[in-house]
Structure 1
């Protein structure tokens, strides 16, 4: 997975953290959690606020 794979990342986060409310997460936590996902293979410094927002939005949709 790369930072641009927001839907795949959101699905993986939903599976790994089923009890987390994605509307209440901090971007610093989200950034760390993405970097720790199995299958994540991208430069940890390539993310930004827009990417994290897209991942969070996809995770919110996944959690509905």
Structure 2
């Protein structure tokens, strides 16, 4: 997975952190959790606030 795979990342995060409400997650935590996902292989510096926000929104949609 790369930073641009927002839907795939959201699904993986939902499976890895089922007790977390993605609406209230800090971007620093979100960044660290994405980096820790199995199958994630991208450079940490390629992330941005816009990408993290897209991941957060996709995660929220997964919960609905």
TM-score of the superposition, structure 1-length normalised?
Answer: 0.99
Q: Is residue 22 from structure 1 mapped to residue 22 from structure 2 by the alignment? A: yes
Aligned length: 64
1:20-43 alpha-carbon deviations (Å, 9 max, x no partner): 000000000000000000000000
1:37 equivalent to 2:37? Answer: yes
Deviation for aligned residue 1:16: 0.3
Partners of 1:46 and 1:6 in 2: how far apart?
13
Q: Which runs of 5+ in 1 are unaligned?
A: none
RMSD: 0.3
Q: Which runs of 5+ in 2 are unaligned?
A: none
Matches of 2:13 and 2:63 in 1, distance apart?
Answer: 10
1:1-64 → structure 2 map (5 Å cutoff): 1-64=1-64
